[in-house]
Structure 1
């Protein structure tokens, strides 16, 4: 069986969706399926690569506007290859893929599967022209994969298509989260005597890092907050740290390499995901923490799957959204009443490994 995975980007760009597409493509290939990936290149040139025995077709893009890539090469290549596959697995949101699908329809016996990672939240007015294209794809497809019941039921876009929904929780490769004892010890030594709160993500509007920084105002000097990542709000966040005089309590780490990341998760006493909007549909980074046995503090975003992933009092705590004092109180509580790290890790293994995710997907592909 030949399968085409259609994604916006693909590793070495390691975004949340891209990681899921990589894991699905790699494991499906290991299971004997012939898998290709069609995506956009971050550069203005096209290429074909083979990554872990998967063919990856990257198409040159002209411009990147409002989180959307414009690529005529993508549409041309879609037209050329679309009829070569038994299954076409399209990961949304991706307006370019919607347009390509409308312009050049695949053969009628192709099984179309849509993977609904999130609604378009911030660009809700810019998405209006694409709604008919989106509805056409959703009406044509065989199944719609949602990452949680919570998100699917809260999505206005999916209400007409709930009969097509299959819930497949995102899973990750836990082997990538193994850290050397030396690397973990080095971080623990650097912050010796501190209760280490780690957070990670792009510095963008929906991540809520400003509330995490404000939470430090309600913590004593025995706590340290480490924030990894970069983004358009980095300078604003750094200015807030200075404004509150929290330089000794909050550290901005910048980009952390994939090789260094497991050590930070393992060294942390708690991981915090302070996101504030439904753009955070799932919070894959929570799984990375849980794979290391690190308890999670996340927020109860209405209509999001974040709080569904982090099971309250089992893998961590769920607190009200946009509430710095609640975040601070949760850190203090877990310092006094720590959650067993083995319990966190066991829950992860039961629910969120990538092998479980792909096993569920194969059942959908095969129509089981």
Structure 2
């Protein structure tokens, strides 16, 4: 099979969907198929990158507007290369990819990988809806990452016969911590219990509520948040106004190696997101690979509450509740047997549902069935 994977960005530009795209291209090519990538660059330059058995085409971008890369060259490049492929695999939501499909109308089969509804841009959604509906009609299949999201998305209910549920998966081979660095981190924070969180500093991630939870925690804990984004100044203000400088630290950008070190060093991982824009939580799976208990929010219609099984791999709390977050942290901390059970269950759930091999095997089976 010759597959073109279509998405907004690709590593080294990192994020949950980018990580999954990498796992898909790597996994499919290792199974003897071609899986190239077409995406936007993060700068106004066209680049081609040759990996071991596949090519990544990065088209020139003039910036981001409403979470969409402004890259007219992407549409032109898609028109030039689309006939080489048997199947187009589109990572959604991505309005630019949808526009390219509409304009080019490839004869190859199209599969939409539905990671999330468009949640935040409600005012512009009504203008985008006709294009989105056209693409969903045009597609041969729609992949959802959890049963919960597939059944709750209002945009997918007319297309139930096209839906396949395939959980996201990642390989643990590249997720290795440096033990010396881990020890340095733990020493730096005087062996306090590290509550680690990671993601873009944007409103739907709910980091402000995690910061505020520090008010209800003893000095035995330290909250560390990795990532960059527009909410940084707001979070720093909350930290200062509540005198939490000794309890919360914003780490800024973390490399993949640094991320692994913090995942290994932490006591538990927290995902405090507040809307279904957090549809799955790939970062939870990464924490599970390191056998960490998870504290996450029970968001209606999001797959996060399926990924983190309540009272098994961690605990779920209501969104926007600093007190409930603190109670969950303390509950896990105060019960050694519970902590050890959740550590064990966390890794077990990763191996059962969320490996790259399981995801790629399911994708290849699906692709072969429709070509």
Tell me the TM-score range normalised by the shorter chain: over 0.9
Indicate the RMSD between aligned Cα atoms, in angstroms. 1.2
**Corresponding residue number in structure 2 for 1:367:** 369
**Corresponding residue number in structure 2 for 1:232:** 230
Name whichever of 46-55 and 358-367 sits farther off.
46-55
**Corresponding residue number in structure 2 for 1:9:** 9
Q: Is the 8 A contact 2:195 2:269 kept in 1?
A: yes
TM-score (norm 2): 0.96
Q: Is the 8 A contact 2:313 2:345 kept in 1?
A: yes
Quote the offset at 1:51 in angstroms.
2.4
**Corresponding residue number in structure 1 for 2:87:** 87
**Corresponding residue number in structure 2 for 1:196:** 194
Is the partner of 1:125 in helix, strand or coil?
A: helix
Q: C-alpha separation between the residues in 1 aligned to 2:103 and 2:271?
A: 39
Quote the offset at 1:183 in angstroms.
2.0
**Corresponding residue number in structure 1 for 2:207:** 209
- Quick one: which of 138, 143, 146 aligns to 1:145? 143
Is the partner of 2:105 in helix, strand or coil?
A: coil
Name whichever of 48-57 and 282-291 sits farther off.
48-57
**Corresponding residue number in structure 2 for 1:269:** 267
Is the partner of 2:23 in helix, strand or coil?
A: helix
Q: C-alpha separation between the residues in 2 aligned to 1:51 and 1:181?
A: 29
Matched, 1:25 2:18: no
Quote the offset at 1:154 in angstroms.
1.2
Matched, 1:302 2:304: no
Q: Is the 8 A contact 1:3 1:87 kept in 2?
A: yes
| Superposition misfits of 4+ residues, deviation over 3 angstroms | none
Aligned residues: 366
Deviations 1:300-332 (A, max 9, x none): 011101111001111111111111100000000
**Corresponding residue number in structure 1 for 2:71:** 71
Name whichever of 334-343 and 203-212 sits farther off.
334-343
Matched, 1:323 2:321: yes
How do residues 94-109 of structure 1 correspond to structure 2 at under 5 angstroms?
Answer: 94-107=94-107
**Corresponding residue number in structure 1 for 2:164:** 166
Q: Is the 8 A contact 2:62 2:70 kept in 1?
A: yes
Q: C-alpha separation between the residues in 2 aligned to 1:22 and 1:354?
A: 10
Q: C-alpha separation between the residues in 1 aligned to 2:114 and 2:272?
A: 22
Q: Is the 8 A contact 2:200 2:228 kept in 1?
A: yes
- Quick one: which of 294, 314, 320 aligns to 2:312? 314
Q: Is the 8 A contact 1:2 1:35 kept in 2?
A: yes
Distance 1:63 1:229, change over 3 A: closer
Name whichever of 57-66 and 166-175 sits farther off.
57-66
Is the partner of 2:261 in helix, strand or coil?
A: helix
Quote the offset at 1:129 in angstroms.
2.0
**Corresponding residue number in structure 2 for 1:354:** 356
Q: C-alpha separation between the residues in 2 aligned to 1:64 and 1:350?
A: 37
Flag structure 2 segments of 5+ consecutive residues without an equivalent: none
TM-score (norm 1): 0.97
Is the partner of 2:122 in helix, strand or coil?
A: coil
Q: Is the 8 A contact 2:42 2:63 kept in 1?
A: no
Deviations 1:199-245 (A, max 9, x none): 11110010001100110111111111111111101011011101000
Deviations 1:60-105 (A, max 9, x none): 1234211111222111111111122111101111111111111111
Flag structure 1 segments of 5+ consecutive residues without an equivalent: none
Quote the offset at 1:193 in angstroms.
4.1
Q: C-alpha separation between the residues in 1 aligned to 2:204 and 2:176?
A: 29
Q: Is the 8 A contact 1:315 1:339 kept in 2?
A: no
Q: C-alpha separation between the residues in 2 aligned to 1:264 and 1:293?
A: 13
